[in-house]
Structure 1
């Protein structure tokens, strides 16, 4: 993975370029009433599109599956669990790197809350979300035949999750059937967006010219009324839910691969026996 130019270094360069673009567009948003929308949009971009770029590692992962895992698995040298654990541990340092460096650039150029605690949470949430996307793509890789179909399938899944993650359509405005229940609660963007919003808006105060010249609005009120964030639990619960999704997707990948190893020989055996017993018609 370290020697893979596309998987490691090209992705890191693209992340740095995107963070510079984000930081320059939203540079020093300040604390005016208009900065509320700017902060929310910037955080949504980080939660949706920066994590979406984690899909770029999918072709390299497919090559590992074909050239290393399946060959070693057929030779009896590589267990499925060992591959899942090895892939997870080897990707963690890199994912942390591309969360930290671009995160620093975007965070401080925009002028979000300047405290170690808030930035640490920002970088940690970005890291967990990227790890979740890679876990989702591992699960997709277990049932698609090639990387092109995998990229298309993974992009489609993420597109649906972004669409109903609570930004493009506020939670209370989502149709209850299917989009609100269950898709809104299945979408990991819901918890990523709300974690970023709670981390940024809690404790801040903004002027509110809509209520008068000297009136103000608190960050907590913005979370409830503007972004319709569920404030009944802390931002750390959001990150814990995302981490649970990471474990769930990795276990699903493990289960699908193991199930495929049992089902495929049975199907081949049945197909082979049907060919042997089929009658031969002589003309």
Structure 2
């Protein structure tokens, strides 16, 4: 689902930028921003609050992918010694060490990623449709502002072999 979401975002970016190099640069920058703000490199409570925590962390799709992955791996896990003493459980690792939100299951994280993917595909459809309409509107405005008059150049030659003198060329070009 995360890969589908990334592909959807790249499709939106590709439809907005003028060439593929700008699309790659913009897409890589957006992906880096999402990875950095997703809570993988820095724990959520350690993220700076002004930019990274409040706008980025809460809208970041990578956060849901990380949390779903962590919940899938650690829920139900019990780390024990050889004598059978439980040292730590997976829930404690998730809550205390990784600071994963435990209020919902991994399936909710997957559902959020699916909804984000569908929304991004719909945004891509809207961008493509709006750009098609914008091209027609711009073309119509340009044609009304400066209509190009078509000129026909008709040259008649007195003989079967045309003369290549400068005056014949000037007459041919209608200059």
Shorter chain as normaliser: what TM range?
A: 0.7 to 0.9
Give per-residue Cα distances to partners, 1:101-144, cap 9 Å, x unaligned: xxxxxxxxxxxxxxxxxxxxxxxxxxx11111111111111111
What is residue 147 of structure 1 aligned with on the other side? Answer: 20
Report the structure number with the largest CA radius of gyration. 2
Q: Which residue of 1 aligns with 2:93?
A: 222
Q: Is the 8 A contact 2:78 2:86 kept in 1?
A: no
Structure 1 position 199 matched with structure 2 position 48: no
Deviation larger for 189-198 or 136-145: 136-145
RMSD between superposed Cα atoms in Å: 1.7
* Alignment correspondent of 2:107: 236
SS in 2 for 1:179: helix
Farther off after superposition, 220-229 or 267-276: 267-276
Q: For each residue in 1:160-209, what CA deviation from the matched residue of structure 2 results, as whole angstroms up to 9, or x when unmatched?
A: 0000111111111112222112211221110000000000000112259x
Tell me which residue corresponds to 1:262: 133
- TM-score if structure 2 supplies the norm length? 0.76
Q: How many Å apart are 1:269 and its aligned residue?
A: 2.9
1:246 maps to 117
SS of equivalent residue, structure 2 residue 66 = helix
What is the distance in 1 between the residues matched to 2:89 and 2:117?
33
Which structure carries more helix by proportion?
A: 1
Give the TM-score normalised by structure 1. 0.48
Please give the secondary structure, in 2, of the residue aligned with 1:181: helix
List alignment gaps of at least 5 residues for structure 1. 1-127, 209-213, 277-283
Q: Give aligned pairs, total.
A: 144
Q: Distance in 1 between matches of 2:29 and 2:51?
A: 17
Distance in 2 (alpha carbons) for counterparts of 1:273 and 1:163: 49
- Of the three residues 43, 49, 54, the one matched with 1:181 is 54
1:132, 1:275 → 2: CA distance? 43
Q: Any idea what SS the aligned residue of 1:230 has?
A: coil
